[in-house]
Chains A and B, each alone.
Chain A
Amino acid sequence: MSQATLRVQKISGHAGPIPGEGMQREDQVCKLVDTTTCIGCKACEIACQEWNDLPFAQTTFDNTYQTMPTTQWNFWNLIKFNEQPKEDGTMMWLMRKDQCMHCADPGCLAACPSDGAIVQYTNGIVDFQQDRCIGCGYCITGCPFNIPKFNPTTKKVYKCTLCSDRVSQGLEPACIKACPTGCLHFGTKDDMKDLAEKRARQLREHYGFENAGVYDPPGVGGTGVIYVLHDATNPEAYGGLPANPSIPWAVRLWKTPLRWLGNLAMLGGLVGVTLHYLRFGPKTVHNGESEKRS
C-alpha cells in the first residue's frame, strides 16, 4: 500500500460492523526476532526512538545492561537481558527484544472503550490513535505482554506502531532496518514463520539446542512479532515472555457477551468501574530485572 493511509479491519469500542470489512485482501506483516543471534546491542532501541522522535528518558544504573525495567510511553522497544545458568556450570546470556506483539486478537483493542482509539489494519498492525484515546488505561489491562504505557502529561497511552508510517510507504520498520546481526527480520507472516521454523530446525540439528522452537502464541490468535527461542519450552526465561498469553477474562466478557452493554451509555460507567478495578487493582508486572541482585 503506497499511500499515507492504512485500511482498518478492527476498531476499538466500535458498535456495528467495520466499514468495508473483507472487501480487499492484504498480507499480514510480521517481525521475526531470532533471540539466538541477538547480541543485545540496542540498535533497535535507538532506531525506534530516533525514527519516532521520542524524547529521551533519564535512566539510572540498575545492576544490569538492560536500559530500563520495562517499556515506557516514550520507549517502545526494549531489550531484556537475562543471565541464565546452565546445568553444566556454563551459562547463557539471553537477550530478547520486547515490544508490542501486534496480536491477531489484540487484548488492548478488545478492552478499549473509545471508538477508534485502537485499530488493527488489514496488514495486522495494531495502532493507537491518540486523538481518540480517552486515557482510561483499559488497554493496559487488556494486554498480556505489559506493553502500552500511559503518559501522565498528555493523559494518553502509547506503544510501538510497528512503524506504520514507514510500512505504509513501503519501508521496513526502523528497528528491523537497524539490527546489525539480522536477528530481526521483516516480511509476511507466512514467510517469517517459514524462516523461523528453518532456523529452529538448524538450532536443533547443528547447534545442540534440542528445544529450539518458535514462539507464536495461539492464546492471542498468534502475533505479528514472533520469536525463535533456544528453548521454546521456557519462554519465561527470556525476561518474562508469557508461556500462554491470553486476553484477561473480564476483557473477554466485556468484549463478547456483554458487548451490547457498552453501547448503552448508562451502563458504560459500570463497565468502566469494573475495568478500572482490573487496571489499577491486581496486575502482574513483568519487570525483567532478573539480573538484579539484592
Chain B
Amino acid sequence: MQLAKEVKYLIHKEILLEWRSKYTINGVLLYVVSTIFTCYLSFVSLGDKLTWNALFWVIMLFASINGVSKSFLQENKGQQLYSYILASPAAILISKTIYNTLLMLVLTTIALGFYALVFDTFTPPDLGMYYIAVILGAISFSTVFTMVSAISSKAGNGGMLMAILSFPIIIPVLILLIKLAKNAVDGLPWENSLDDIGMLVIVNVMTVAASLLLFPYLWRD
C-alpha cells in the first residue's frame, strides 16, 4: 500500500514537473514532426506501405530514445539523492516507467495521427490492430529505455552510451512490433497476430521483472 502511494505521488511529481516546463513533450514532438516531414520530402516517390510502416517504427524508436533517456539523465546528483531518501527504489522505477509509458502514448498517438495525415496512402485498413501495436510499442520502449537510461546515467556519459546499450536490447522488440504492425497494414485477421501480442507481453513482463530485481542495486551508490 505504501508502494502504491509513493508511486502515485512520484508520478504526480513527474507530470507536474513536465507540465511546468513542457520541455520534453514539446521537444520530442517537434523532433517527431520534423523527422516525419523530412522523410516525406525525401522518400516521397516510395509508394510501398510496408516501407512506410518500417519507417514509422524507426522514427518512433529514435524519438522514444530521446524522450525516455531524459528521465534519469536530466536529474542531477542532488535530486537523485533527495528521491533516494524519500522513496523506495521500486517506487521510483515503477513511477518512471509508468510516466514514460504515458508520455510515449501521447507522443505515439500524435505521431500516428500526423503520419496518417501526411502520408494519406498509409492509413492502415485495420486501425484498431495498428493502435494496439502502437500501445505495446509505447509500453515496451519505456520499460526497456527507462532501465537502460538509469544504467547510462550512473555510468556518467549519457547520450552515446544510451544508444549503444539500448539498441541490441530493443531490436528483438522492434522486430516483433514491425511484424505486428505489418499484420495490421496487410489487414490480416486478428488470430494471426495473437502470437506476436503474447510474445511482446512476455518480453515486457520479463523486462519489468528484471528491472525491478536489479534497480535497487543500481540505485544504491
A binds B: no
